[in-house]
Each structure stands twice: as C-alpha cells, then as structure tokens.
C-alpha cells in the first residue's frame, strides 16, 4: 500500500486518537465486573491465551473461581480438570500478541501476571484499535481503486462514527467482531491482486485469512466468495470462467492448502483435551430454532438490538446496494443477496438479539463489505441539493449512534418493541 499520495496525512493521527478514546472510555471500569472488557462472552473468547501461555488446560491451576469472577464466559470443570469454553480460538489467536506483551510487562509495571489483571485489559484496548486501524488502511486501499480518495476516507470515517463498529472497537474489543472485521478487510484488500497481479503470496494470505475467518465465527464462511464475485464484476466473466480460474491457481499451488490444518491445530487439540473428540459442536443447547419463522423484522428494526434501529446509517448502504443493482453492477447483486442471507441466518438463531450487546453486532464484520455501497452512494451524484440532504441524514445517523454509545450500559432492558425505553437512550 502506498499512502504517500494521500493529502490526508492526518489519517495517521487516527490511531493515537482512538487509543485515547479507548483508554478514556474504560478509565472508570471496575475490574471483574460487567464493565470490564474481559467479561462473559469476551472472557470465553479470551481464555485460550491463559491456557496457552500460563496454566495449560488445567482448571486446578487457574485462579480460584476466575470463571465466575469474569462473568461465566468459560467454565472451570474441577471434576475433569479442564477449562471449557464454547467459543473457538480464532479471536484468541489474534489477541495473542497483545496478551504476550501484557504478560511480559505485567510484573515490571506492578501488575499480577496471572492473565486477568488490569494490564491484560489494556492489551485488548490496544488490540481493538490496532486491528481497526489496519482494517481502515486496507479498506481505504481497496476503495480508492473505485472511488476518489476523499470519498473513500469519508466513507470509512463516517461508517465508523455512525455505526456500532465504534462500540466494538472502543468499548468491547474483547468480542470477536473487530477481529472478524479485520480478517474480512484482508480478503477484500487481497481480492484485486488475486484476479490480476496474482502471485503465490496472495493465495497464501487468502487461505490464512479465510481459515481464520471461519475459526473466529463459522458463519464468516460466506466471505470466501468475495474474490469470485469481484472477478465476475471486474472481468465481466461467467461464473464457470471465474470458477475455473480459481480452481487452476489452487491446483497449481495445492501445497499451500497445508496451512489450513496447521491453523486449526490449536482448536483440534483443545477439543480433544476437553471432549475426547477431535471435532466438537460446543453450542450444545443452542441452535437455529427459528429457521421456519425467522425474526427478520426484529433483527432489522427491534428496539432490542435491531440493526437499523441502533445504526440507521446502514440504511444508506442498502440504498447504495439498490443503486448498484439498478446500474447492473454485479457486486451490488452479490452484496444484496449476501445481506439477505446473513439476515436470514441471524434471524434464525434462537437468540436473534444476541444477548447483551449494542445493536446488530452479528453484522459488524460484514460492514467491511457494506462500506462499498455506502461509498457508491456518496459518489453517485454531484447535485448540491442531494449532497446537502445526504449530509443532513448522515449527521443525524452519527448523532443517534454516538448518543446511545455514550449512555449505553451494555444491555437494553426494554421489550422487543419498546420505543419509549429506546428513546431514553437518545435523549
């Protein structure tokens, strides 16, 4: 990536600004409470790092009752002497460099090096900002192939401020979403190289990123289709032609496929240790109970974490998708179909609101794709009236998102359609 041509060199101030916002937002957090970044689900993702680098998979060596003290995101099974979490280890793999740094700095800086003291939360604050910042650069590099630099950087900044991507970068970097967003950004960035200036390193990066995407969240598997669809759009090919192209580059570099099982090794070892099986479905009592009656309206518009209710800016992306389809852009068709598929999948999950969260958190990784139609909308007209109206709408969307963000306490305590309770978050 060459950023020397960017007149927007203030872009590099983004990282320290985000670090300040993150540390400031958490400055009054009480450790081992629901405000702590290592809490509940986030603790379940994170616990692999203490297993790998400190205690091993042995419940007896972990700090006493640390599972309860961190919100029961994992379970210390004293009978089998194992540490049990239903979450896969992809998130922890990406967190591990920051965990190691925190662990090495713990004693010199006066913190307990037990994997759960405050310095380990600091490491996650930095991790969230780091992965967002790199994602920003990757997506900017991709977008400016299709739009002006000012449209590209504006789309990214507005999307961050106007959606719950902000929350899961600054407030909740222990959750999986910013890490999936980063992996999606890699796949989007690498796609133009895969279809034109292809070399072995591009395929290698794609395979690593695709495996990590699935290891973080299995529903992320849909992102691996992006290079195929992008090739259809850019080369104006048939599906058969594009499939044959990718079949050819994989078959001629089949040795690279060994990277897939290597990345999966830590997960397979963990499953074998805790369950006795090399492959395990850990969501034993949870599933897609709503396949026949998906809660689509609730997922999109409910006051209890509805996607558009908390981040109305996303509606502009949907308008952008419609415009792309009208202009016969194949990528627009893919994005539209993808949005409907993931909406159906999430609406079919037994807990369609995805617990205590901020808005439709299950969509966040896909924002790396939904930024594209948003940028398309921004660039679709030079009409001053249109631009003025669009600017007014964008400011309103950002205001709603940030208003809720800075008053939100981690959960919505109203009913599915409780607009009175929701409006109190904005006032």
306-331 pLDDT, tens digit each: 999 999 999 999 999 999 999 988 89
81-123 pLDDT, tens digit each: 999 999 999 999 999 999 999 999 999 999 999 999 999 999 9
125-145 pLDDT, tens digit each: 999 999 999 999 999 999 999
Report yes or no: 332 and 382 within 8 Å, Cβ to Cβ: no
Is residue 252 predicted with pLDDT exceeding 90?
no
Question: What is the rounded CA–CA span in Å between residue 142 and residue 397?
Answer: 25
* Start-to-end C-alpha separation, the chain: 43
By C-alpha distance, which of 377, 421, 427, 384 is closest to 404? Answer: 427
Question: What is the rounded CA–CA span in Å between residue 188 and residue 134?
Answer: 13
* Average per-residue pLDDT for the chain: 92
Percent of the chain with pLDDT over 90: 76
199-241 pLDDT, tens digit each: 788 999 999 999 999 999 998 999 999 999 999 888 888 889 8
377-408 pLDDT, tens digit each: 999 988 899 999 999 999 999 999 998 888 88
Is residue 182 predicted with pLDDT exceeding 90?
yes
Give just the sign of the alpha carbon dihedral 288, 293, 296, 301. negative
Domain spans of the chain, in order of start: 14-19+29-279+290-426
Distances in whole angstroms, Cα of residue 85 to Cα of each of 124, 145, 164: 19, 42, 26
CB within 8 Å of 190: residues ≥ 6 apart: 202, 205, 206, 209, 227
By C-alpha distance, which of 209, 191, 186 is closest to 135? Answer: 186
Statement: the pTM of the whole predicted model exceeds 0.85: yes
């Amino acid at each position: 990536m060459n950023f020397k041509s960017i007149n927007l060199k203030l872009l590099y101030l983004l990282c320290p600004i985000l670090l300040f916002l993150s540390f400031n937002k958490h400055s009054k957090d009480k450790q081992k409470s629901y405000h702590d970044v290592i809490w509940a689900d986030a603790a379940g993702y994170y616990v692999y790092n203490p297993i790998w680098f400190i205690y091993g998979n042995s419940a007896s060596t972990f700090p006493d009752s640390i599972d309860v003290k961190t919100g029961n995101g994992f379970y210390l099974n004293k009978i089998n002497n194992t540490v049990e979490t239903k979450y896969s280890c992809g998130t922890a793999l990406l967190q591990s460099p920051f965990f190691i740094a925190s662990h090495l700095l713990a004693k010199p800086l006066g913190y307990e090096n037990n994997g759960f003291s405050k310095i380990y939360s600091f490491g996650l604050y930095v991790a969230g900002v780091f992965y967002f910042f790199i994602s920003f650069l990757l997506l900017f590099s991709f977008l400016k192939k299709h739009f002006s630099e000012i449209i590209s950087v504006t789309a990214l900044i507005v999307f961050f401020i106007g959606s719950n991507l902000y929350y899961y970068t600054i407030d909740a970097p222990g959750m999986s979403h910013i890490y999936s967003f980063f992996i999606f950004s890699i796949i989007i960035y690498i796609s133009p190289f895969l279809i034109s200036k292809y070399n072995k390193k591009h395929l290698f990066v794609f395979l690593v990123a695709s495996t990590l995407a699935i290891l973080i969240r299995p529903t992320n598997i849909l992102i691996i289709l992006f290079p195929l669809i992008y090739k259809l759009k850019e080369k104006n090919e048939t599906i058969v032609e594009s499939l044959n192209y990718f079949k050819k580059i994989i078959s001629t570099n089949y040795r690279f496929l060994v990277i897939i099982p290597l990345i999966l090794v830590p997960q397979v070892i963990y499953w074998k240790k805790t369950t006795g099986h090399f492959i395990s479905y850990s969501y034993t009592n949870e599933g897609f109970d709503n396949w026949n009656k998906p809660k689509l309206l609730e997922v999109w518009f409910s006051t209890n974490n509805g996607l558009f209710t908390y981040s109305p800016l996303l509606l502009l992306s949907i308008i952008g998708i419609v415009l792309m389809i009208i202009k016969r852009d194949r990528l627009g068709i893919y994005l539209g179909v993808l949005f409907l598929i993931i909406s159906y999948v999430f609406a079919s999950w037994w807990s369609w609101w995805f617990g205590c969260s901020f808005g439709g958190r299950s969509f966040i990784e896909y924002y790396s794709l939904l930024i594209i139609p948003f940028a398309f909308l921004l660039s679709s007209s030079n009409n001053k009236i249109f631009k003025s109206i669009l600017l007014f709408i964008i400011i309103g969307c950002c205001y709603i998102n940030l208003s809720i963000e800075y008053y939100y306490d981690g959960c919505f305590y109203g009913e599915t359609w409780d607009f009175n309770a929701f409006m109190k978050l904005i006032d």
